[in-house]
Amino acid sequence: MNKYKKYKNEISEIVNTQVDDSEWKLIRKLHLPEKLNEETTQEYKKGIIIDVEATGLNIGHDDVIQLAMLPFQYEVPSGKITIINKNKSFNGYREPAIPISEEAQLITGITNEMVANKNIKAEEINQIVKNTDLIIAHNASFDRPMVESHWDCFKNVAWACTFKSINWLKEGFNSAKLEMLGMDYGWFYDGHDALNDCEACLALLSENLPVTNKSVFSICREFAATPSYLVKAVDAPFNKRSLLKRNGYRWRPADQVNGKVWWIETHDYIKELDWLKKEIYNRDISIPVRKITAMNRYSDRIWEL
């Protein structure tokens, strides 16, 4: 539980009723304070929440139109978030290499006219990212490749993801969308704006999970610190595609870096290799495996040959 609240008003100020609170739910607008908890140690690290808006959702095709970053401080022993550096946040627009799709304009409210002749300076980004220990995004699989294609500084920092690190279904949530998770925790925000999304992601990090009773941030840190392995079923027989899919493999499209391959991320690659040789290839074969850590997880660099 955090010491400082994320809302302007207490429930008693808004609702005056004797009806049992199991019969109703109040959802308040998110108002992040500049401090969530008091500092209890001098040992702390710097984190950054990042969010990207783009011309569309195709990583291999679309381009960045808005980048937002929200730095924060957390204690190393406890992982407790203390200071939210709103005064050091960044929110910038840039003119993309291709026009913004109609769908993206409807979702984000950002038009081609709004980003015309706009630019994000690498020097400014480098300064903010400097000395950062962990970058977090809600769906880092999208954000990391998008920003790494423009700013190299994002390649040299560990990343975590609030979307992928938590088994939200097992924790009792019906959706892993940021807006829905916020409402489940009792708050809402103006979404589809990069900086607002950053504040919502940070608020989510500070929440406790109902089943594991750990903070979202602590689980994200644990997941980030645990290595995994990328296993690629190169040239897998076409008639085995349904079996691969049932066993958790995903198809990487041809328009992405070194795509057109079935793949899986696993912690037990030995077991995975044995299964592929027995069930997919029916023979002993060399299968490519790459170690994934927080330094390259969610990056297109894991696909480089």
Q: What is the domain-level CATH number for residue 75? A: 3.30.420.10
So what's the pLDDT on residue 60?
83
- Residue 272 and residue 156 share a domain: no
Final residue before a domain boundary, out of 206, 225, 244: 225
**The dihedral formed by the CA atoms of 255, 260, 265 and 271, expressed in degrees to the nearest 10:** -170
Neighbours of 260 (CB within 10 A): 12
Same domain, 150 and 254: no
Is 170 within the bounds of a domain? yes
B/e letters for 151-179, b = 16+ CB within 10 Å, e = fewer, are bebbeebbbbbbbbbbebeebebeebebe
- Whether residue 216 lies inside any domain: the answer is yes
Prediction pTM value: 0.91
* Residues 205 and 251 both lie in one domain: no
Rg over CA atoms, the chain: 21
**Residue 288 within a domain:** yes
For the chain of 305 residues, list the mean pLDDT of each consecutive stretch of 10. 75 74 85 93 95 93 97 93 97 98 95 98 97 98 97 98 98 97 95 91 98 97 98 97 97 89 97 98 97 97 90
- Does one domain contain both 62 and 135? yes
Which amino acid is it at 117? Answer: N
Domain assignment present for 2:
no
In this structure, what is the dihedral angle of CA atoms 14, 20, 24, 27, given to the nearest 10 degrees?
40
User: Do both 168 and 267 map to the same domain?
Assistant: no
Tell whether 161 and 255 lie within a shared domain: no
The dihedrals phi and psi of 46, each to the nearest 5 degrees, come to: -105, 130
- The pLDDT of residue 260 is 94
Q: Which residue carries 């999208």 as its tokens?
A: 142
The domain boundary, picked from 196, 225, 254, lies at 225
Please, are residues 234 and 287 in contact by the beta-carbon 8 Å criterion? yes
In-domain check, residue 127: yes
| Domain contains 132 | yes
Q: Which amino acid is at 279?
A: E
**Are the CB atoms for 203 and 30 separated by under 8 Å?**
yes
Residue 184 shares a structural domain with residue 40: yes
Containing domain of residue 204, as a range? 28-225
Tokens 């190169």 found at: 234
Report pLDDT for 136: 99
Contact 198, 28 (CB under 8 A): no
Pairing of strands 44-54, 134-137: parallel
Establish if 66 belongs to a structural domain.
yes
What kind and span of H or E run contains 181? Answer: helix 178-184
pLDDT on residue 256: 83
Query: How many structural domains does the chain have?
Result: 2
Paired strand residues for 303? none
Within this chain, do residues 217 and 265 fall inside the same structural domain, yes or no? no
128 and 170 assigned to the same domain: yes
pLDDT value of residue 44: 93
Q: What are phi and psi of 136, to 5 degrees?
A: -130, 140
**81 assigned to some structural domain:** yes
Q: What's the confidence (pLDDT) of residue 3?
A: 73
Same domain, 281 and 146: no
- Provide the 8-state DSSP code for 119: -
Residues 201 and 105 in one domain: yes
Q: Are 130 and 183 members of one domain?
A: yes
Domain boundary, last residue among 210, 225, 240: 225
